[in-house]
Amino acid sequence: MQEGVEAGRWAWSADAHDFDCDHAPEIFVTCGMLTNSVEPDLMSFFWRQVVAKSPIEAKPSVAYENGWNALNQFIREGNSWNGHEPNVFFVRRDGRYRDYSGVSGLDVADDGRAFAVTDLTGDGTLDLILKSRLGPQVRVFANQCASERNRIVFRLRGTKSNRDAVGARVEVDGQVKWVSAGSGYLSQHTKKVHFGLDNRRRAEAVKIIWPSGLAQTAGPLDAGFEYDVEEGNRELQKIPLQPRFVFPDNVLAITPDNRPRGHATWFLEP
């Protein structure tokens, strides 16, 4: 609440990543429950007739069961439940987070569920893969917001620790990130660790705490490279990042259309 990002609507998956490489993470939240064709929305009914009547003790309650039964019946009749909710994207500016959902292009109202970030173009910036309940069920967003800011990437491989280095703590000039497995709701981000350096051309001090407890240091390291780090090995493999990927100007815009409708579909044998 102190950061002003508590209003995420009906949120499923949320995480913070430095998409624009200014060493201040942005926050993305997938939103929306069930979008149908009938109004009004069942959001108020859910809180008044289901949540408010939840039993204090874990015992059967007629009023609670009736609330759920009514809610499910309304859904079968085509009512929305927290429907038409766009995803939320918060960007840190002037010491506080601000809502950049609309200008980012990430505010699609597809009943968002999960998302994963990874570098699809090899340029060191994080792209975003979005999974939603409605179609298109998968959207891929190429990162175009990092401009010419510098970045540095680390790929860790454990020896005494687990091979994927899950649980490792990586600190770069005061920024701290962790290698994790399982990210948000039914999703997994890249296990490579990305750091934005803004206009700095190198990382002065890098410290890795491996799950085994081993502390490993390096630096200064030039920006614009991916460094492959093996646990306990002071020799780092240095791989240059690709030039920043830029879309051509003649890419056609996709018109959003979230109205539910039925279509004939064929399943094909592989």
Q: Answer whether residue 70 is part of any domain.
A: no
Phi, psi at 150, each rounded to 5° = -85, 155
**Pairing, β 96-99 against β 88-93:** antiparallel
The answer to whether position 170 is within a domain reads yes
The pLDDT, as a whole number, for residue 268 is 46
Mean pLDDT of 208-230: 97
Range 245-259 average pLDDT: 67
Which pLDDT belongs to residue 80?
95
Sign of CA dihedral 66, 70, 88, 196: positive
Most confidently predicted of 60-74, 220-234, 238-252 = 220-234
At residue 231, does pLDDT exceed 90?
yes
Residue 86 lies in a domain: no
pLDDT tens digits for range 9-66: 788 999 999 999 999 999 999 999 999 998 889 999 999 989 988 888 877 788 889 9
Q: Is the dihedral of CA 42, 98, 153, 128 positive or negative?
A: positive
Contacts of 191 (CB under 8 A, 6+ apart): 155, 156, 164, 165, 166, 179, 180, 181
For residue 154, the model assigns a pLDDT of 98
* 176: in domain: yes
Report how many domains make up the chain. 1
Output the pLDDT for position 194. Answer: 98
Does any domain span residue 164?
A: yes
Q: In this predicted structure, which of 94-98, 200-204, 247-251 has the lowest mean pLDDT? A: 247-251
pLDDT at 7 over 70: no
Q: What's the CA angle centered on 256, arms 252 and 258, to 5 degrees?
A: 155
Per the rule left: phi > 0, alpha: psi between -120 and 50, beta: everything else, 84 is left
Residue 134 within any structural domain of the chain:
no
Q: Is residue 79 part of a domain?
A: no
- Radius of gyration in angstroms for the set of CA atoms belonging to the chain, rounded to a whole number: 22
pLDDT computed for residue 244 by the predictor: 82
Residue 266 has pLDDT above 60, yes or no: no
Report the pLDDT value the prediction gives residue 182, as an integer from 0 to 100.
Answer: 84
pLDDT > 70: percent of the chain? 89
Average pLDDT over residues 222-237: 97
Query: Taking the model in full, what pTM does it have?
Result: 0.84
Q: What is the CATH number of the domain that holds 190?
A: 2.60.40
| Token pair recorded at residue 114 | 């999960």
Structure token digits, residue 73: 């019946």
Q: Where are the beta strands (DSSP E) in 37-159?
A: 88-93, 96-99, 112-118, 127-132, 138-141, 150-157
Average pLDDT, the chain: 89
Question: Could you list the residue range(s) of the whole structural domain that residue 208 is in?
Answer: 149-241
CA angle 54, 6, 87 (to 5 degrees): 95
CA distance 82 to 32: 6
**Cβ distance 241 to 124 under 8 Å?**
yes
Domain membership of residue 89 (yes or no) is no
For 63, residues 6+ apart whose C-beta sits below 8 A from its C-beta are 53
pLDDT band at 8 (very low <50, low <70, confident <90, very high): low
Type of residue found at 212: S
Q: How far apart are alpha carbons 115 and 24 in whole angstroms?
A: 20
The predicted model gives 156-172 an average pLDDT of 97
Separation of alpha carbons 230 and 249, rounded Å: 41
Segment 75-102, tens digit of pLDDT: 999 999 999 999 999 998 888 899 999 9
